[in-house]
Amino acid sequence: MSEATLSASLPLSSSEVFAQRQAQLGLNADWFAEKQAAAWSQFQELPFPTRTNENWRFASLKQVRALEDFVPTPFAAAGDEETLVARSSHLKDYAGRFVFVDDNLAAARELDPELARQGVIFTTLIDALHQHRELVEKYLLQQSPELGSEKFETLHVAMMRAGVFLHVPKGVEVKKPFLVYHWNKNDGGAIFPHTLFVCDENAEANLIEFQESAQTDTRHLVVANSHVYAERGARPSHTIIQNWNLNTLSFQLNTSNAQSDVTSRGTVINVGSDQARQEIHGKIFGSGSDVNIYSLNVPRGSQEMDQRTLQTHLAPNSRSDLLFKNALQGDSKTIFSGLIIVAEHAQGTDAYQTNNNLMLSDTAEANSLPGLEIGANDVKCSHGATTGRIDDSNIFYFLARGIPRPMAEELMVFGFFEEIIEKFDNEDLAEFVRGLVQNKFR
């Protein structure tokens, strides 16, 4: 315990922190320890992002360059676990659940015993490293978003200890969702949640991550990674509800990797964080796949939501669709930078990208960089980006029917979100997200 307290008092950039944390992990997996050591030295060498870096265009760099303000959370109970576990109840019906507080497990894992019998693995990453070494080695840290956050990604790898491994074996279909709750709690703490979600051939599963803060006035750094691997014919669905408190600097660096005939859906709902940087890379390695990426952002006050996406088509005859919707209030700022890459031989690709910004204040700022890089000619690719306010003619329609203006505007805004929310096939989740999002307008 004394070691833990010591590490907690040292800032992130200290090398002692890394050595202690590795020792404390008590890992019996050399290859992983080596990866962490390599990542740590890379982290030391890599520069912080600068103004001229295209991947950081329009982003605020001051905060992301000041990591020394944070210390990694100690290997010890943060306190209040019982309350937080009790608060981890957004969905009543689930197949399994994990609750972490400040990167420490706060409650025993829950998993439907029937699924365990069918071979579903739902365990912490550390346990998985020991018990399912071959499986984990095949997928863990194999893909990276490659969108500019290499420095933060290496920090994540060096520091990661809390995380979840979900593996759904061939042909197993799980309708109820797997839930992962991450709470941050202690002031000035840095956490590094990791999610590895593998859907084997023809398997189907749904993983939802809830990201929350125990208190509203504490400061935090979060560098989270989530990676989804879909084998042939798999149907994974992955959702992140980002609701850290308004003093959190958060990074979410994700990849979604599809082999052939995959139908996948990835959704990120952004409600919290002072500054949220997100990178999402959908990679399509096989034909016949249908990859969907959605996001809904409701910043207000001085929040900045900075999202960079890539849709990479490496194989012919697949489809990808991206829809990112932002509703901006106050002095908030959004950045959407998306790119579709169609490799030379990826003929027959269908790829779409849409970014809609709804401006609800005079001082908000929306940046939109929708890009295409097309190297094959037999493709259907398009992108669209719109920025504007609520259409007056629509408001007029409401007014003409006796609905007062404030209510008409509210209905229009909520209607704007429905396009994303209605895509959830879980009504409880849709209802929860509606409440969360609408709360930002009250």
Partner 1 sequence: MATTPDLNIDRDSGNFRYDTTYEFDAGVGLNEQTIDYICDVKGEDDWVRDFRKRALEVFWKKPNPTHWASKQLDEIDFDKIRYYLSKGQRPTRSWDEVPPEVKETFERLGIPEKERAYLAGVEAQFDSEASYSNMKEELSKQGVIFVGSTEGLKEHPEIFRKWFGKVIPIGDNKYSALNSAVFSGGSFIYVPPGVKLKQPLQAYFRINAENFGQFERTLIIADEGAELTYMEGCTAPKFETNTLHSAVVELVALKGAKIQYITVQNWSSNVFNLVTKRGLAMEDAEVKWIDCNIGSKLTMKYPGVVMRGEGARGEVVSIALAHDGQHQDTGAKMVHAANNTASNIVSKSISIGQGRSTYRGVVSMPKHLKNCKNNTECDALLINTNSRTDTYPAITVRGQNNTTQHEASVSKVSAEQIFYMMQRGLSEGEAMSLAVNGFVNDLIREFPMEYSVELKRLIDLEMEGSVG
Residues of the shown chain interacting with partner 1 in the complex, contacts defined by CB under 8 A: 52-54, 57-58, 344, 347, 357, 359-389
CA dihedral of 269, 177, 154, 367, whole degrees rounded to 10: -20
Q: What pairs with residue 39 in β-bridges?
A: none
Nearest distance in Å: CB 163, partner 1: 34
By the 8 A CB rule, do 318 and 289 touch?
A: yes
The nearest distance, CB 378 to partner 1, in angstroms, is: 6
Minimum distance from residue 58 beta carbon to partner 1 (Å): 7
d(C-alpha 353, C-alpha 330), whole Å: 26
Query: Is the backbone of residue 273 left (phi > 0), alpha (psi -120 to 50) or beta?
Result: left
What's the count of helices (H) and strands (E) in the chain, helices before strands? 11, 22
Closest approach of partner 1 to the CB of residue 328, in Å: 8
In the complex, minimum distance from the CB of residue 170 to partner 1, in angstroms, rounded to a whole number: 36
Instruction: Pick the closer one to partner 1 by CB: 14 or 287.
Output: 287
Measured over the CA atoms of residue 99, residue 296, residue 303 and residue 279, the dihedral's sign is: positive
Specify the residue, 67 or 379, whose C-beta has the smaller distance to partner 1.
379
The answer to whether 59 and 333 are in contact (CB under 8 A) is no
Closest CB to partner 1 among residues 158, 366: 366
Q: Decide whether 57 or 176 has the Cβ nearer to partner 1.
A: 57
SS3 129: helix
Q: Give the list of residues 6+ apart from residue 403 with CB closer than 8 angstroms, or none.
A: 411
Cβ proximity of 308 and 147 under 8 Å: yes
Query: What's the closest the beta carbon of residue 184 comes to partner 1, in angstroms?
Result: 31
Q: Which is nearer to partner 1, 278 or 337 (CB)?
A: 337
Residue among 111 and 390 whose Cβ is closer to partner 1: 390
Minimum Å gap between C-beta 84 and partner 1 is: 38
Nearer to partner 1, 2 or 52 (CB): 52
DSSP state of 288: S
Residue type, 422: E
Are the beta carbons of 124 and 103 closer than 8 angstroms? no
